[in-house]
Structure 1
Amino acid sequence: MLYLGLFICLVVSFLLGMTWLRIGLFNISGKAMELWLKKVTSTPLKGMIVGIIMTAILQSSSAVMVITVGLVAARVLTFPQTIGIILGTNIGTTFTLEFLSYDLSRLIVPFFVLGLLLLLFRHVKIKSLGFIFTGFAIIVTAMRGFEWLATPLTELEFVQKILYLINDHIIYGFLFSILLTACIQSSTVMTGIAMSFLSAGIFPLETGIIIMLGANIGTCITGLLASIGAGEEARLTAFSHIWLNVVGAIIFIPLIPSIADICRNITTSLETQLAHASVIFNVVCSLSVLPFAMQFGRFIIKIHGRKKIKPV
């Protein structure tokens, strides 16, 4: 029970760090990005570039999806304008994992101390920097905590049973990742945990990739929840995000061994291998759909539309 309690505390800490990091980044640039988002979404390509940049800055595809759904609900954006943004968010979210795949332990103490000092200031911009530095220190601490806890946690009988199912049955690992990510509402946290367990040698890269694929689907719950009661086009926006990740994951599952081999050839770092696998999945999915963005939008309207929507 002690190890399970520590695991829950680390998950909460990771989420807290992500939230503080997101708050700081949004306070510094969020409003400007919203205005930018309104102006630069005339084509799917432009929308994708905006989605990549926004997600890379805010460090959260869920946050960008919530902003996008909110702007659609407010009739500032239309559903067709959001397709490119959705494609971009999936690519942008990989920046966080790539960054976390490096050993940043030496930055924990200086970033934490600097962050706490900046939080004492009243000026919004300076205080926001405090949220960024403190949040980042908490995230890296949680990642190292997961890595330390991975081995003793696997000594628990029910954890061993879960790992057995995940390692030997792909579908269980896939569904487990979807459900857990839907609960914590962050694919970054879920994949970050997988990176730590992978680094500790608890399971192979192939298992980490299936968890990453499931996390990409589970994170869609945030946009879906945000779309409830927000109008028809906001609902279509959420469903398009779900379809993109579900279909992409189903196509990629048979390719997991090949992707794992490619990543192993690129780097020997286990954490970086999983981060690269996430980049490959999201970039390939988004770039594959981009030339057919308009047709993709019509498909979503045909399947989920309840009333007449302006043609894509």
Structure 2
Amino acid sequence: MYFLLSAALGIFLLLCGIFGMRHGLQNLLGSKLRKMLTTITVNPWRGLLVGIFTSALMQSSTAVSLITIGLVSANYLSFYQSLGIILGANIGTCTTVQLMTVSLPNHYIYPLLLLFIIIMILIKKVRYPAMAVSGLLSIFAGIELLSATLSNISELNTAIQYIVAGNTNPLYGIAGGILITLLLQSSSAATAVLMAFAADGKVDLLTACYVVYGNNIGSCISSLIIGAAAPLAAKRVAAAHIILNIAGAMIFLPFTNLLTALVAMLSSDFAGQIAFVHTLFNLLSSIVVMPFVRQYAKLIIFLIPGRNRDW
């Protein structure tokens, strides 16, 4: 019972941190981001940079995708222009995972969190900046609590069993990553759980790579389900996102040993290595597609035909 409550509290703090940080930044910059999306994205490469920047600020590729879908549906952007933003959002969201590798002494986290929550409540002028900082501190608190909880784990749930089975079969690791992301509705939160779990030595770096592939696929499934009943623009954007990540996982899979060797050179810390896997997967998947973005757009339009502003 203690394990369940502690794990639930850790996940709660983690999710509250991600959403709090996102909400604070959105309220600070939301209208400016929407204007920037419509005025700067004259070609996919500029769209890529805008997607990276806005997703890093909002700490959510999903939020950027939803704004983009709205702009495409309202004919402010073409589907072709939106692809650069979506590819960039995949890269920008990696900043959340990189922030999770920052080390902050445990005895500072909770007092600082309480301080910024009080500032957020009492001082309206700095409410949203304080909310963003509180969110970041809540992420640190959630990771710390999850690490302490998972180090004493005795029974594995279904998702964890899949992750551990990934030691022998990559598909199990990918399935575990998809499942955890669907449960948490956040690839960043799922990666944080993986970091906490891996810190106890339950999985090696190779298995962690498979789980990260699954995390990225799982992050698209919710939008794909929602997009099934949505307008044509939403269907195409959701399809473009999930096809990108599935294809990325298939391409990366044979080279996972090479990827682990590369991230081991980039960081000696296990959590840092997982963060680099997440970043390199999204960075390379998006950059490789960019020279062929027009052909990729044609593929999505072929798969999901219909009349809309495509170009």
Shorter chain as denominator, the TM-score bin is over 0.9
- Counterpart in 1 of 2:118? 117
The 1:303/1:200 distance shift into structure 2, 3 A limit, reads same
Matched, 1:298 2:298: yes
- Counterpart in 2 of 1:57? 57
Deviation at 1:9, TM superposition (A): 2.6
Deviation at 1:250, TM superposition (A): 1.0
- The answer on whether the counterparts of 1:195 and 1:271 sit within 8 Å (CA) in structure 2 is yes
Give distance in 1, aligned partners of 2:300 and 2:157: 40
- For structure 2, the residue ranges without an aligned partner over 5 or more in a row are none
Deviation at 1:36, TM superposition (A): 0.7
- What are the within-5 Å matches in structure 2 for residues 1-312 of structure 1? 1-105=1-105, 107-121=108-122, 123=124, 125-153=125-153, 155-156=154-155, 158=157, 161-305=161-305, 307-312=306-311
- The answer on whether the counterparts of 2:173 and 2:208 sit within 8 Å (CA) in structure 1 is no
Q: Could you tell me the TM-score, scaled by structure 1's length? A: 0.92
- The answer on whether the counterparts of 2:181 and 2:187 sit within 8 Å (CA) in structure 1 is yes
The 1:94/1:157 distance shift into structure 2, 3 A limit, reads closer
Deviation at 1:162, TM superposition (A): 4.3
Secondary structure of the corresponding residue to residue 200 of structure 1: coil
How many pairs align? Answer: 309
- The answer on whether the counterparts of 2:79 and 2:310 sit within 8 Å (CA) in structure 1 is no
Deviation at 1:72, TM superposition (A): 2.1
Which residue identity does 1:120 align to in structure 2?
A: I
Deviation at 1:131, TM superposition (A): 1.3
Deviations 1:24-75 (A, max 9, x none): 0100011110111111111000100000000111111111112212222333
The 1:276/1:161 distance shift into structure 2, 3 A limit, reads closer
| Greater shift in the superposed pair: 98-107 or 247-256 | 98-107
Deviation at 1:193, TM superposition (A): 0.9
- The answer on whether the counterparts of 2:56 and 2:95 sit within 8 Å (CA) in structure 1 is yes
Deviation at 1:228, TM superposition (A): 4.9
Deviation at 1:311, TM superposition (A): 4.8
Q: Could you tell me the TM-score, scaled by structure 2's length? A: 0.93
Superposed CA RMSD: 1.9
Secondary structure of the corresponding residue to residue 299 of structure 2: helix
Deviations 1:79-101 (A, max 9, x none): 11110011101111111111211
What percent identity do the matched residue pairs reach?
Answer: 30
Q: Following superposition, which runs of at least 4 residues in structure 1 exceed 3 angstroms of deviation?
A: 157-164, 225-230, 308-312
- For structure 1, the residue ranges without an aligned partner over 5 or more in a row are none
Which residue identity does 1:166 align to in structure 2?
A: G
Which residue identity does 1:169 align to in structure 2?
A: N
